[in-house]
Structure 1
């Protein structure tokens, strides 16, 4: 049996709790430390998930000698600084999506990982989901013919709170970075980087995007129509079509355990997988696999893909009219 991979969790919000619960399903993984800017919250989180050490800062987790990997679950605005300190402290990093606030920050983080020779991966867990790996295999095998379109939506009605991470500009809130990133990542996984990005959306009173719709165009003629929303529920499904058929992924497509392949004049074919937990287990296992293989980046969630997705999100934000304090002049103006 491989030695246990020892995790340190930074921040104690909902996503951190989900990840801790998923890690508990993996016998060769263990959470040994958790940090929050509020020590009482860190202690409560540690008690809930049976974690030995609780810290009242993020930096102490990165500096803990028993931590192998730091999982960054802070708001988007803190990703760069928190991940940077972990990399500089010699730790591998799994950083929640979106990797950073913008593509410029993503490039900085990747450069830091390369400079320090440390593993870095965006926690785009959908890309590690066995069903999505199977979908990629179907496309590569020509099951749908030539891919022509991706249509995906993801949204819900969020209670409006101007101070909440979903709506606060200084925390890089908005639908694009929270939910819109899933449809964009799916399109990139299947079609690659687009040649054109067109976006429209609605703004929350704080100035972040409450909803956004994107039309991505590709030189070969393929298109992607993508929607993300905090302003109301969406079907949360995905469709991928080609010249010879199409695939339907039911809700919630990013965490689905089945898809249906359709061909004209044929009975639909269902493809299913058995998922362990809700799906975060697979990104944790991918981190472990890469570290044991001596890799600095995952082939399932490579650095170039994380940067390319951020470039699309930058372009969409600029067209919708959203700017963050972290944005430099000119960020997202292309596309």
Structure 2
């Protein structure tokens, strides 16, 4: 019988609700504790999803010896602080993306994981979904030849609020770290680290960028065209163009993948599993803990470092600055 792990939620916002809803269905995950700086928020969250305990401070929660693993879902600018707090108390960490604000902070988090011999992983849930695995399977078959172009977008219409996490520059606001990270991650996973980066950004009154377009160039001739925005809604498709055809799919929906070869379109369906797919990253974390690993063999420290390095380069080209972090 698989070991059952006591999960705690640090930060009781919307993304934590989505994660907890799917965590609840896993037989070896025990919904144990919630923590917020507002005890009422923690209690309401615990009641809604069936957690056993609620804490009004993060420090109190990490001192609970029964907590095994913590899912961190606070704004980007707090990820370093909260990850270090958990790791110091030997709590395994699954921290929401963006992992932190910059490479310096991510490096500190990884060092703390090693120093405390405690598991740490970035919560890039799409990497563990069946759709991602199916796309990689098609690519590795080489039936389409070499991948030459990646086009990936993430758009939604956000309500302008200068104090929200989307627009508050002090919270790491802006589309890049919130949703632009998805297209960047797609390019990194499929084409690797770009040799050249060009950007064009549009900034909100708070100084956060609310739209950004990115062009990645590779020494072997591949190109990635990526964009994100809070200014408009869009279909959020990924298009992969190969020498002999293309793959097109919606980033978040379960099915299908559209495969085109010689102008013939084929839809590929597969078992996408229930819900959105947040449960797959939780399953992977617990498998790593079963093996007493402190680093995921899938979403490695190197992947997270490569990703934040690219995001830093994008920010430098676009002149995106986060106060107190640069």
Q: TM-score, normalised by structure 1?
A: 0.94
Using the alignment, how far apart are the partners of 2:253 and 2:177 within structure 1?
18
Match of 1:308 among 306, 309, 316: 306
Q: From the superposition, tell whether residues 23 and 221 of structure 1 become closer, same or farther in structure 2 (CA, over 3 Å).
A: same
Aligned to 2:69: 69
- Say yes or no: does 1:134 pair with 2:134: yes
Separation (CA, whole Å) in 2 of partners of 1:4 and 1:255 = 30
Query: Cα distance, 1:254 vs. partner?
Result: 3.9
1:198 aligns with 2:185: no
1:296 aligned to which of 287, 294, 300: 294
SS at 1:99's partner residue? Answer: coil
Partner secondary structure for residue 31 of structure 1? strand
The answer as to 2:259 corresponding to 1:261 is yes
Structure 1 counterpart of 2:321 = 323
1:267 shift after superposition? 4.4
Q: Report if the CA contact (8 A) 1:261-1:268 is conserved.
A: yes
Instruction: Tell me, in whole angstroms, the C-alpha distance in 2 between the residues paired with 1:31 and 1:300.
Output: 25
| Coordinate RMSD, CA, aligned | 1.3
1:153 aligned onto 2:153: yes
> Aligned equivalents of 2:235 and 2:270: distance in 1?
20
The runs of 4+ residues in structure 1 deviating greater than 4 Å are: none
Q: Tell me which moved more, 201-210 or 105-114.
A: 105-114
Could you tell me the TM-score, scaled by structure 2's length?
0.97
The match for 1:332 is none
> What is the CA distance between 1:40 and its match in structure 2?
1.0
Superposition deviation, residue 72 in structure 1: 0.3
SS of the counterpart of 1:48? helix
Aligned residue runs from structure 1 range 1-335, under 5 A? 1-250=1-250, 253-328=251-326
Q: Is the 8 A contact 2:6 2:67 kept in 1?
A: yes
CA distance in 2, matches of 1:28, 1:147: 39
Tell me whether 110-119 or 67-76 shows the greater mean CA deviation.
110-119
Q: Which runs of 5+ in 1 are unaligned?
A: 329-335
1:333 corresponds in structure 2 to: none
Contact 2:10/2:74, CA 8 A, preserved across alignment: yes
Q: Deviations over 1:245-296 (max 9, x none)?
A: 110002xx14543211111154424233322221100000010111112222
3-state secondary structure, aligned to 1:74: coil
Number of aligned residue pairs: 326
